[in-house]
Amino acid sequence: MAGMGGKDTLTGGEDSDTFVLDLSNLTVADLITDYDSTGEDADELDVTELIGTEEITQQNVGDYFQLSGGILSFDQDGAGTNHNMVQVMEFASPPAQLELIVDENQAPVVVTA
C-alpha cells in the first residue's frame, strides 16, 4: 500500500500489510493509522524503492533510519555527509519497532524507537 503524492493517510486493516515508501516520501511524509509491529500479522515497510542501491543491513540500519515519537526519518547516504535525516513517515500510534524490507532476498531489518 502506498500514498499517491501529497500527504496521504494509510490504513491497512487487521491482517499483515506492507506499506511502500518511495522517493516521493522525501518531500511529504504519509501517515499510517494502524501499523501493527507484533505477532504473526505484523506489518512491514517496503523501502526498496526509497534506498536505491544502498546496502542496508541490521548493523548499519541506524545510519539510514531513525524511529522516534511516531516519526520515521531517513538519510539517503547513511553515515555520509551529503544528506541529512528527513521525515518520511508518521504513525498515529508510535510503534516500538518497524520491520523494513530493504532487499527482497534477505530478511527484513528492524528499527527500534
* pLDDT score, position 3: 61
* pLDDT score, position 11: 82
| Run means of pLDDT, 10 residues per run, the chain, 113 residues | 68 85 79 87 90 92 95 92 92 93 92 92
* pLDDT score, position 73: 95
Closest-CA residue to 63 (of 48, 76, 50, 72): 76
Please give the model's pTM, rounded to 2 decimal places: 0.88
27: Cβ–Cβ under 8 A, 6 or more apart, which residues? none
Q: CA triplet 12, 13, 17: central angle to 5 degrees?
A: 50
Domain ranges of the chain: 9-112
**Strand partners of residue 87:** 73
